[in-house]
Amino acid sequence: MEKIALSAESRALIDLEVAKFPGEQKQSAVMSALRIVQTEKGWLAPETIEAVAEYLGMPAIAAYEVATFYNMYDLKPVGRHKITVCTNLPCQLQGADKIAEHLKAKLGVDFGETTEDGRYTLKEGECMGTCGSGPLCLHNNHKMHAHLTPEAVDKLLDELK
Amino acid sequence: MSLLSPSIKVCSWTQEHDNPASLETYVANGGYEALKKILAEKTPAEQIVEQVKISALRGRGGAGFPTGLKWSFMPRNFQGDKYIVCNTDEGEPGTFKDRDIIEFNPHQLIEGMVIAGYTLGAKAGYNYIHGEIFELYESWERALGEARRAGYLGKNILGSDWDFDLHAFHGYGAYICGEETALLESIEGKKGQPRFKPPFPASYGLYGKPTTINNTETLASIPWIMRHGGQAFLELGKPNNGGAKLFSVSGHVNKPGNYEIALGTPFGELLEMAGGVRDGHKLKAVIPGGSSAPVLPADIMMDCTLDFDSIAKAGSMLGSGAVIVMDETVCMVRALERLAYFYFEESCGQCTPCREGTGWMYRVIHRIENGQGRPGDLDLLMDVGTNIAGRTICALGDAAVGPVHSFIKHFRKEFEYHIEHKKCLVGG
């Protein structure tokens, strides 16, 4: 496997996370570090995970364990825009199923799939802790869009080039 | 909000101000006064714990454990590092109150954590924030920066000889990390799999050091208790159920949202504040304390007051105060199918009864919902549930069983109809 290097920007951000923990506990920064490099590279290739492990001085397998356990890490390439829709009960009662159906029809993909042009990936999500504003979705893990209607979804999709 | 409303503002008061989250708003309204007084008077830790005990503050994250008692478990004379950890890993379906504290009143949480750190002898604290609310992780970081620059965090806090710092930790999608020992594993940079207890975190917590983990709303209530006294907090609620509490109302109501009310308020009043059941519909059932709490039919729920003891007596639990409202259009089989899928998806996989049992329950409910249910399926579901509950390291197993058993108990006819007629009793 080819070795990859972390960018200076990513390393600087990771260093800020490492500084939050006692000196001998660098591994505590692994979740943030994986988030930071995923944000930069779009997904976590095995060699990316290994580079993070090496940077933090931890075994690669321990970093893999983390990357495979938490569901917001992408271990395969995703579209430029990953849309994660919460379909859990409170959101469902507030109309999330209609939003999910609308997205599937509009994009021509099911949950877990990416559009052919590589622009969108659609994902089913679990509770995002914001039920009162449902239906809602996350864009690329970090930006939440609440009170969704089919019209609001159309507008959002148009904006995401 | 009318003057007659039962609303009491312990944690949500900043939302009545223009810049609710700002340090200026907080300080201009008495914020950080409790901390100043404690540091100036060098209030003994025992006195603070005593006030928290008098307040009858019970954990706001779901378990309802008395906070003062939890604090008293921390070894007072332990000389090494100790930690205070805040649990903002809010991912229990229906619960969305802690996010509002981070968004609108972060400094009250900071002050609460600093007071907790002082009381428990901790040198550092972490706030674990749910993965899906990254924007609030960032805003919490900004609030910490403000507090540091103003001298409320860091070295020699407010000119005292005491140092304490707080940090943000961001989760990345795992409901199980709301379980306190899974959360600690996660902060240590590992899979979030709960630890076997004992030892409890108060003796073996983060990095093996004595640690107290409290919910966001619990910690944010501390400054109020220290300013007004434990007795005043107790009197906001009712005996053994001190204070006001945030209730997250979702589902079939006209105005979903958070409502802070006195513990002991009748359920009907909360429903009214949330705009009532959506127009033209009738209340069918309520899950009163987050998805893990057993469902209650409308008539039982309408007789409840909202406090730990009343809801427990009715056969459910107040949990995190997440009230999921369902009207007569809801198919209970379909609703349960979605909840069962959630627990299956979120089981950490460590204990066999939960890992295998949650998937089994989901598959059986899924086939009932899809017209392939078999005559013995309901007994099977009850049996699988009974063999999960109490047989796992953490409470996720029990949490997965609560909805299954209670939905079948109260709405058995709907399940039987589904199995027999291969279709839904509600709306065809």
Q: Each residue of A124-146: pLDDT tens digit?
A: 999 999 999 999 999 999 999 99
Interchain proximity B249–A141, CB inside 8 Å: no
Q: What is the DSSP string of A17-83?
A: HHTTS-TT-GGGGHHHHHHHHHHHHSS--HHHHHHHHHHHT--HHHHHHHHHHSTTS-SS---SEEE
Rounded-to-integer distance, Cα B221 and Cα B11, Å = 7
- Interface check for B172 against chain A (CB to CB < 8 A): the answer is yes
Interchain proximity B189–A31, CB inside 8 Å: yes
Q: What is the DSSP string of B373-402?
A: --TTHHHHHHHHHHHHTT-SSSTHHHHHHH
CA atoms within 13 A on the CB side of A71: 20
- B 100-119 residues inside an 8 A Cβ radius of A: none
Rounded-to-integer distance, Cα B111 and Cα B32, Å = 6
Nearest to B87 by CA among B160, B172, B177, B161: B177
* Tokens coding A107: 């994009």
Q: How far is A40 from chain B (nearest CA, A)?
A: 16
Confidence (pLDDT) at B6: 58
- A 104-143 residues inside an 8 A Cβ radius of B: 125-134, 138, 141-143
CA dihedral B143, B98, B228, B158 (to 10 degrees): -20
- Interface check for A79 against chain B (CB to CB < 8 A): the answer is no
Q: Which CATH superfamily is domain A8-69 in?
A: NADH-quinone oxidoreductase subunit E (1.10.10.1590)
- Interface check for B96 against chain A (CB to CB < 8 A): the answer is yes
Q: Which residue of B has its CA nearest to A71?
A: B173
CA quadruple B326, B330, B331, B334: dihedral positive or negative?
negative
Interchain proximity A89–B291, CB inside 8 Å: yes
- Give every residue of chain B whose pLDDT is below 50, as ranges: 1-5, 428
- CB neighbours of B360 closer than 8 A, spacing ≥ 6? B384
pLDDT tens by residue, A58-92: 999 999 999 999 999 999 999 999 999 999 999 99
Amino acid at B214: N
* Tokens coding B180: 């306190």
- ipTM over 0.90 threshold: yes
Architecture of domain A81-160: 3-Layer(aba) Sandwich (3.40)
Nearest to B280 by CA among B320, B329, B237: B329
- Interface check for B422 against chain A (CB to CB < 8 A): the answer is no
Interchain proximity A58–B172, CB inside 8 Å: no
- Interface check for B98 against chain A (CB to CB < 8 A): the answer is yes
In this complex, the residue of A31, A73, A131 whose CB is nearest that of residue B248 is: A131
Q: Which of A31, A44, A147 to mutate to test the interface with B (most CBs of B within 10 A)?
A: A31
Confidence (pLDDT) at B238: 85
pLDDT tens by residue, A147-161: 999 999 999 999 998
pLDDT tens by residue, B221-261: 999 999 999 999 999 988 888 899 999 999 999 999 999 99
Burial tier of B148 (Cβ tally within 10 Å: 0-12, 13-18, 19+): middle
Q: How confident is the model at residue A1 (pLDDT cuts 50, 70, 90)?
A: low
Confidence (pLDDT) at A152: 97
- Where do the structural domains in chain A lie, given as residue ranges? 8-69, 81-160
Rounded-to-integer distance, Cα B208 and Cα B199, Å = 10
Q: What is this structure's pTM?
A: 0.96
In this complex, the residue of B96, B130, B175 whose CB is nearest that of residue A131 is: B96
Tally Cβ neighbours within 10 Å of residue A58.
18
- B 25-54 residues inside an 8 A Cβ radius of A: none
- Interface check for A32 against chain B (CB to CB < 8 A): the answer is yes
